[in-house]
Amino acid sequence: MAQDVLCEVSNCRFWAAGNKCAASSIYVVSNRGQHASNSQETDCKTFEAKI
């Protein structure tokens, strides 16, 4: 498993200093059905907007 998950979405609740993701788990899905061919065909469902 990855030790560090990097994220550049600074308006996400889980964004931390150094572009780290501070979520306890990450959920990524394909936005085109069951199989993605590249990163553009995926979405991070862990994202929550900062309030």
* DSSP string of 36-49, one letter each residue: -SSGGGEEETT--B
32 is written with which tokens? 């085109």
Contact in structure between 5 and 21 (CB atoms under 8 Å): yes
What is the number of domains present in the chain?
A: 1
- Model pTM score: 0.81
Q: Using one digit for the tens of pLDDT, what is the confidence trace for 2-50?
A: 889 999 999 999 999 999 999 999 999 999 888 999 999 999 999 999 9
- What is the residue range of 49's domain? 1-51
